[in-house]
Structure 1
Amino acid sequence: MRVGVVGAGRMGRPMVQRLAGAGHEVRVLARSDAAAAALTEDGAVAVRDLGAVAAGAEAVVICVHTDEQVRQVALDDGLIDALPDGALLIVHTTGHPGTADALAERAAGRGIEVLDAPVSGGPHDIAAGRITLLVGGSDEAVARARPALAAYGDPILHVGGRGNGQRVKLINNAVFAANIGLLAAAVDLGAQLGVSEAALLEALPQGSSNSFALSGVARAGSVAGFAAAAGEFIGKDVAVVRQVVADLGGDLGALAAAHQTLAGLLTVPEHARALA
């Protein structure tokens, strides 16, 4: 496929490498000579503007840091307007489900399909071709996107219509954040009962209380240490899920209390405020 990429950073660059390695024709936005040289070594064609990224593309991937940056690139800077009719626009950035609808509205009448496909995992998973992709969109669009997504994604989970990829990812991260908050409460309980955090983190991963969050905490050596390392993306994503739930007139239920416990561990004020 002819694939354009915007956002060849920590997560996006290994996607570029996997796409090029799988034989796709990849054009990537490069803001500097150094970035262009590195992307060329990866087997991609480095270009300097969004029009060149979109030119002739069957699919364009956006993998930037925030939802606001997605809107800036796609709407304000005109990426959607530059896309060929009938192209796919694939958004890997975690954000508000309404963003995918806003992008689709801008592209209405041109046969452009928007897929929201947030990821679960890290750069090492992309490099190994095993990043989890949570994809929202039509059956036809997901089927068309699979040859590109399969270069770095496994499993590719089609979780429903447009926006559902974001909804599932936000719920996932809300549960993940709550698990960390529960672990903080467990450490507090251990202190009350005379059990050290070190002893708990050695024992609990071997029992039925084990979880992905607990495994990460155990590797970090403390709940506070893990929360500090993961605080940026946890705070950002939980802020989004709280906004989405509020927009829909719902609530986080029991998850909210665990989020408040986690907020007390975060040292970056804006991240703590997102959870409080």
Structure 2
Amino acid sequence: MGTIGFVGAGNIGEPMVERLLAAGHAVRVYARRAEVRDRLRAAGADLVDRVRYVAACEVVVSCLYDDAQVLDVLPEVVREMKASTVLVSHTTGRPETLTRLAPMGKAAIVDAAFSGTAEAVRAGRLTVYLGGEPEPVETAREVVSAYADPVVMTGARGSALRVKLLNNLLFAAISQVTLRGLKAGRAMGIEESALLDALAVGSGGSSAGRYITARGGSERYVAAVTPFLRKDLAACRETAAELGTDLAKLLAAACDGPMNLDNFENGVIR
């Protein structure tokens, strides 16, 4: 495979670039922060000062934060990409955003929503969902396999984002229940760390419990994940409304708990 372009070298994107370089790929990166550029240049990446300069690459990977960044940054890239190239979008957001992006150019677009942390990327164990046409999806699979395992094919473009939004909706609900359980444990005189250790090997355990432990407890966990879950639940609510799907009960479960998730960025739960 030729040079891979990369946009969005943040907390998750930077280790993705590192894994791509370690796998032997040539990587051309557009990054805004000077310290990130310096680290990735030292690691062997080719740094460019204009985002459109990544468009000449055979594959462009985008790991931008949200839909607003996608629509702000990527049109300039998509307009200059060739029909034979592939854009792999890791952003968790609305499938409709990629639908708006696609007519701006000729490149194939694959939605590649992921589940996991920067530590999972560094270990090569990030979970990535891929949605799109078979040939571009296979190209995307070859690229993301540098940092992802498993890679799950979900169907047509947009399906990976819908899977991820539902995943995060369920994760938010489970997180709220787990946080309530930890609060109940403290009221019953049980140390939070002791209860988390017990849940880790018990039937009441979950990925939420593991993440709370990894973050160092409920307070740090809530501070870290609330902005991301609020953003993703807003996208989930909007996507469900566009599809005519009733998610009211699931959204209510996701918002009922210690995390303040009902104050969405783009409105409140209805």
Q: CA separation of 1:218/1:26 partners in 2, compared to 1, >3 Å: closer, same or farther?
A: closer
From 75, 81, 85, the equivalent of 1:83 is 81
From 133, 158, 181, the equivalent of 1:163 is 158
Q: CA separation of 1:93/1:191 partners in 2, compared to 1, >3 Å: closer, same or farther?
A: same
From 137, 140, 161, the equivalent of 1:142 is 137
In structure 1, distance between residues paired with 2:165 and 2:92: 8
Alpha-carbon distance, 1:211 to partner: 0.8
The answer for the alignment partner of 1:62 in structure 2 is 62
Aligned partner of 1:51: which letter? R
Maintained 8 Å contact 2:230/2:261: no
In structure 1, distance between residues paired with 2:207 and 2:159: 23
The answer for the alignment partner of 2:91 in structure 1 is 93
2:87 aligns to what SS in structure 1?
A: strand
From 250, 261, 265, the equivalent of 2:259 is 265
From 163, 172, 175, the equivalent of 1:177 is 172
Alpha-carbon distance, 1:119 to partner: 1.3
Q: What are the within-5 Å matches in structure 2 for residues 28-47 of structure 1?
A: 28-31=29-32, 34-47=35-48
The answer for the alignment partner of 1:53 in structure 2 is 54
In structure 2, distance between residues paired with 1:257 and 1:68: 26
In structure 2, distance between residues paired with 1:163 and 1:11: 21
Q: What are the within-5 Å matches in structure 2 for residues 1-276 of structure 1?
A: 1=1, 2-31=3-32, 34-55=35-56, 57-75=57-75, 78-107=76-105, 110=106, 112-187=107-182, 194=188, 196=190, 198=192, 200-220=195-215, 222-262=217-257, 264-266=258-260
Report which stretch shifted further, 125-134 or 216-225: 216-225
1:82 aligns to what SS in structure 2?
A: coil
Q: Which runs of 5+ in 2 are unaligned?
A: none
In structure 2, distance between residues paired with 1:191 and 1:146: 45
Aligned length: 268
2:153 aligns to what SS in structure 1?
A: strand
Alpha-carbon distance, 1:268 to partner: 11
Maintained 8 Å contact 1:115/1:141: yes
Maintained 8 Å contact 1:129/1:153: yes
Report which stretch shifted further, 16-25 or 62-71: 16-25
Maintained 8 Å contact 1:181/1:259: yes
Maintained 8 Å contact 1:95/1:240: yes
In structure 2, distance between residues paired with 1:138 and 1:106: 18
Q: CA separation of 1:41/1:238 partners in 2, compared to 1, >3 Å: closer, same or farther?
A: same
- The Cα offsets for residues 10-69 of structure 1, whole Å up to 9 and x where unpaired, read as 1111111111221212111133654433222111111111232112x1110111111110
Q: Which runs of 5+ in 1 are unaligned?
A: none
Could you state the TM-score of these two structures normalised by the residue count of structure 1? 0.86
Alpha-carbon distance, 1:71 to partner: 1.1
CA-atom RMSD in angstroms = 2.7
Could you state the TM-score of these two structures normalised by the residue count of structure 2? 0.88
In structure 2, distance between residues paired with 1:37 and 1:222: 33
Alpha-carbon distance, 1:226 to partner: 2.2
Maintained 8 Å contact 1:16/1:42: no
In structure 2, distance between residues paired with 1:66 and 1:159: 21
Maintained 8 Å contact 2:233/2:264: no
Identity score, percent: 38
